[in-house]
Amino acid sequence: MAFKLKTHSEIFGIHEETSQFGTPVIIKDDLEDGVEAEANRDGTIFVSSKIPDAKVADAVAHEKVHLDQMATGRLQYSEDSVIWKRDTRTPARKYDRATMNEGHPDFEWEDEAYKQS
């Protein structure tokens, strides 16, 4: 009787088509309702298992913009807030995550991500 071993990608839920070195894309079952993907400070991107395969690449491209925003120090997330600094001349603004509609294009960091992805 033969059996087939799972690949590392299958074991860890890594989406091979969109993952790159240093930026693994991980398929998750437990993202909040309505959340298609999220960028993390460690360079990973989580993508909801509920979105169709055809939308994964677009979601990853959007989240990569957020990774770049975080890497340049313009965007920071915590459990309670989002901190955004448009450029070196503007002050940082803090937004309360409990009262905001995250992902809405009216926020500057989201507008930038929608335009670039």
Question: Residue ranges of the domains in the chain?
Answer: 8-116
Name 74's Cβ contacts closer than 8 Å, sequence gap at least 6.
Answer: 84, 85, 86, 87, 109
Q: Determine what percent of the chain is predicted with pLDDT higher than 90.
A: 68
Residue 63: what pLDDT?
Answer: 97
Query: Which secondary-structure segment (H or E) carries 8?
Result: helix 8-12
State the pLDDT at residue 19: 87
Across 19-41, average pLDDT: 92
Confidence of residue 33 (pLDDT cuts 50, 70, 90): confident
Contact between residue 18 and residue 57 where contact means Cβ atoms under 8 Å apart: yes
Distances (CA, A) of 111 to 8, 70, 74, 116: 35, 15, 14, 9
Strands 45-48 and 25-28: parallel
Question: Is 49:27 a contact under the CB 8 Å cutoff?
Answer: yes
Whether the pLDDT of residue 37 is over 90: the answer is yes
Residue 1 has pLDDT above 70, yes or no: no
Q: What is the pTM of this model?
A: 0.87
Residues β-bridged to residue 76? 83
